[in-house]
């Protein structure tokens, strides 16, 4: 079973990816995290990536594919991938298909979490983190307890970019960039749409049902 999960910032991809990884023992391949590790470890590829990013350019699809192939070629991970943050365009999607075929694999399922812009704005702009325990709260959906010594308002911190304006920009960028990719997988009959506004337990159950009944898992 190899699957891809899509969704706008604030849709809950991280939460659902963690659930899938734990339940089905899959390997989460996050290209962003892999690139950051390459840079951190100062590998030859990491130095090249750092130079590219420092110049203001995007990391090329060729480099991304090389990084991804390193993991796809590992027999320990065969048919155990959940791709997070990849692919981001049609070329990357086709490259991924070719890489998987090279190692006798394929994408079995593509999940798209759908969440309205109004909910995304509240999820992003309402987020705060307790500087003491690290617990995440949301003033609209999961406010911090008023009687807590640890998570009181004075200890709650917000990211500077967690604002309504930023939320709207992120959402619009996602919708614009991902539309061709969503159509690509829809035409391949791999796409399944999941309501990302449902309670987490309901989303877990729906995703489990989609995976359990997929031929890649049976």
For 183-218, write each residue's pLDDT tens digit.
Answer: 999 999 999 999 999 999 999 999 999 999 998 776
Domain tally, the chain:
1
pLDDT tier for residue 27 given thresholds of 50, 70 and 90: very high
- 159 belongs to the catalytic site: yes
Q: What is the mean pLDDT of residues 37-57?
A: 84
Tell which wins on pLDDT, 58 or 42: 42
Does a structural domain hold residue 125?
no
Does a structural domain hold residue 36?
yes
pLDDT score for 87: 93
pLDDT score for 59: 82
Catalytic, out of 66, 158, 159, 179:
159
Average model confidence (pLDDT) across the chain: 89
Does a structural domain hold residue 139?
no
pLDDT tier for residue 88 given thresholds of 50, 70 and 90: confident
* Residue 148 pLDDT exceeds 80: no
Q: What is the mean pLDDT of residues 114-131?
A: 90
pLDDT score for 218: 62
Bond into 87 cis (ω within 30): yes
pLDDT tier for residue 71 given thresholds of 50, 70 and 90: very high
Residue whose token pair is 């049902």 = 209
Does a structural domain hold residue 167?
no
pLDDT score for 83: 95
Does a structural domain hold residue 190?
yes
Catalytic, out of 48, 88, 135, 186:
88
Asked if residue 86 lies in contact with residue 17, where contact means CB atoms within 8 angstroms, the answer is no
- 127 belongs to the catalytic site: yes
pTM of the model: 0.84
Does a structural domain hold residue 173?
no
- 101 belongs to the catalytic site: no
Q: What is the mean pLDDT of residues 99-119?
A: 96
Catalytic, out of 112, 121, 123, 127:
127
- 23 belongs to the catalytic site: no
* Residue 94 pLDDT exceeds 90: yes
Distance CA 152, CA 12 (A): 25
Does a structural domain hold residue 19?
yes
Asked if residue 179 lies in contact with residue 78, where contact means CB atoms within 8 angstroms, the answer is no
* DSSP alpha helix (H) spans, 41-199: 44-54, 61-72, 90-102, 117-125, 164-187
* Residue 194 lies in domain: 3-116+179-212
Asked if residue 49 lies in contact with residue 39, where contact means CB atoms within 8 angstroms, the answer is yes
Does a structural domain hold residue 165?
no
- 22 belongs to the catalytic site: no
Distance CA 109, CA 156 (A): 38
CATH number, domain containing residue 91: 3.40.50.300
């Amino acid at each position: 079973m190899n699957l891809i999960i899509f969704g706008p910032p604030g849709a809950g991809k991280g939460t659902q990816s963690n659930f899938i990884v734990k339940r089905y023992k899959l390997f989460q391949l996050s290209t962003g995290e892999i690139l950051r590790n390459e840079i951190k470890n100062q590998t030859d590829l990491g130095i090249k990536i750092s130079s590219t990013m420092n110049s203001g350019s995007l990391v090329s699809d060729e480099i991304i594919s090389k990084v991804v192939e390193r993991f796809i070629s590992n027999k320990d991970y065969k048919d155990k991938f959940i791709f997070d943050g990849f692919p981001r365009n049609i070329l990357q999607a086709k490259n991924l298909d070719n890489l998987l075929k090279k190692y006798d694999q394929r994408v079995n399922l593509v999940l798209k979490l759908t969440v309205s812009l109004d909910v995304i704005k509240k999820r992003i702009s309402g987020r705060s983190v307790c500087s003491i325990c690290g617990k995440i709260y949301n003033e609209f959906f999961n406010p911090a307890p008023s009687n807590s010594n640890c998570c009181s308002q004075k200890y709650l911190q917000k990211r500077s970019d967690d604002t309504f304006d930023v939320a709207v920009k992120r959402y619009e960028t996602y919708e614009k960039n991902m539309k061709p990719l969503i159509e690509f997988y829809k035409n391949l009959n791999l796409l399944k749409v999941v309501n990302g506004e449902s309670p987490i337990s309901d989303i877990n159950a729906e995703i489990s049902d989609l995976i359990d009944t997929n031929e890649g898992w049976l």
